[in-house]
Structure formats: C-alpha cells, structure tokens
Amino acid sequence: MDHASFDDFVASLSTRLLRTPYLLTHDRALAEDLVQTALSKAWFVWGRIEGRPEAYVRRIMVNTYASWWRRRWNGEEATADLPERRPEGHRADDVRVDERTDLWRALERLPKRQRAVVVLRFYEDLSEAETAEIMQCSVGTVKSQASRALAKLRIDPSLRPACDDERDGERDDERDGEHDEERAR
C-alpha cells in the first residue's frame, strides 16, 4: 500500500475511527488526539500492514489509550448551555434519559482495559477472539475483563434498580447476556 491509499483511508474512515476512542475517552478532543496519534503511528508502517488497516489502527488506538494515563490533563468540560432542571413529576422516558446519563458516568468509572473490552464487545460487536487480538491479550483475559466490567456496572450505586420490578427485569437481561457471551465463544 502506498501513502496515497493512506490518505484515502484517513479521508474515508475518519468518522468511523473517531467513534471508538470517543467511547473510550468520553472526550472528543482527546479522542481526536488519539485518532491522530494512531494514524501517524500507522503511517510509518503503512506499507507493511498485514490484513485490514482499520483493525490495525484500531489496535493502536486501544493500546495507546490503555497506556495513556500519563498524557491526560486536567480536563475542563465546556458546555454551551446550562443543564435543564429535572421536571418535578417525570415520565418513564425521563427516567430512561437519566439512566443513560448514569450509565455513561458509570462507564467512566471503569478501569481503562475493562472499558475497552466493553466498547469493543458491545459497541463494535467484536467477538472475544477479535477483541483479544486488538487488545493483544488472551481470550481468557477478555472474558474476565468483560465479566468484571459488567459486574462493576451492575453494582454501580447510580445504576441499582429502585424497585423489585426493575430488579426482576434485570435478572432476565443478565440471563440474555450470559447467552450472548456463550454464543460468542
């Protein structure tokens, strides 16, 4: 592959490539930084990449992210608007919106490698073997990291179900999740 194909690759896949690091970092600027870091690393070996370049770049991004703690800075979150006040008597949809925010924040509390497994398995829909290849670890490690990540999310205080009905529903979902992981093996 020549570097003209690299430019084409960057131009056509930038948006797709940006999503994974954004889900990893929860910070658009940092995600863009991560994409550019990975792409510039890939540039130097572009002619020697075996297999799909996208997978290779994704692998660099994930592993750079996992070892990137020292490069983080004190992040300021700039917001254009003040957050809306929560209405007094909220409807079911309102509850759902709040749950998503809580879940997003709960994801932020996961250790980096666990968050990476969650993103690769449940957003990218990669198999355990594919996830292991990208993270350069064993399938067993992927399984254990995924299991720990889900366990942490389930016991996260902000995500605990408020009533028995929701708890029952969650048990059903947990069983679905086990089946899902079983299928991926």
Partner 1 sequence: MNLTDLRDELTTHADDLGSAPDFRAGVADRVRRTKRRRAAAAGAGAALAVAALAVGTLASLGRPAPSVPAGSPSSAVPMLGTDGMPYRTVPDAPGDITKDGLRLRARVADDLLEGGAIGDRGQSRIAVDWVPSSTSVSLVGACYLDGAGVGRASEVELRVRIEGMQGYFGSTCLGRPTERDLPTRVFTPGEPGRGWAELTVRRPATLIVEVVDRTTGKPLDGSDVQVAGAVYTDLGHHTPIRDASGKVVAVIPNTIEHQGYTYTQVRMSSAPLPRWQDLTVGVDPGAAMVLWGSAGEGLTGTDAPDESGMRLARYPGGSVTRGYGWWGTDVLPADSTVRVTASTQGARAAHGSGFIAVYAPSP
d(CA 141, CA 3): 35
Check binding of 15 to partner 1 (CB under 8 A): yes
Query: Which of 106, 110, 116, 142 is the binder for partner 1 (CB under 8 A)?
Result: 106
Would you state the structure tokens that stand for residue 13, as one six-digit string?
A: 């896949």
Residue pair 120/126 in contact (Cβ under 8 Å)? The answer is: yes
Query: Which of 49, 66, 103, 137 is the binder for partner 1 (CB under 8 A)?
Result: 103
- Pinpoint the alpha helices (H) of 3-52: 3-25, 28-43
Build a one-symbol-per-residue string for 38-57: x at contacts with partner 1 by CB under 8 A, - elsewhere.
-xx--xx-------------
Query: Which of 94, 98, 168, 173 is the binder for partner 1 (CB under 8 A)?
Result: 173
* Span interacting with partner 1, options 69-77, 80-88, 134-142, rule CB under 8 A: 69-77
Smaller CB separation from partner 1, 94 or 173: 173
Would you state the structure tokens that stand for residue 147, as one six-digit string?
A: 């299991």
Query: Which of 1, 71, 136, 140 is the binder for partner 1 (CB under 8 A)?
Result: 71
Instruction: Give me the phi and psi of 78, to 5 degrees please.
Output: -85, 130
Residue pair 153/107 in contact (Cβ under 8 Å)? The answer is: yes
HSE-CB at 137 with a 13 A cutoff on CA atoms is: 18
Q: How far is the CB of 77 from partner 1 (least distance, A)?
A: 13
d(CA 167, CA 65): 34
d(CA 158, CA 129): 31
Smaller CB separation from partner 1, 78 or 89: 78
Amino acid in the structure at residue 130: E
Q: Which residues of the chain form contacts with partner 1 (CB under 8 A)?
A: 7, 10-11, 14-15, 17-19, 22-23, 28-30, 32-33, 35-37, 39-40, 43-44, 69-74, 76, 99-100, 103-104, 106-107, 118-119, 122-123, 150, 153-154, 156, 159, 169-170, 172-174, 176-177, 180
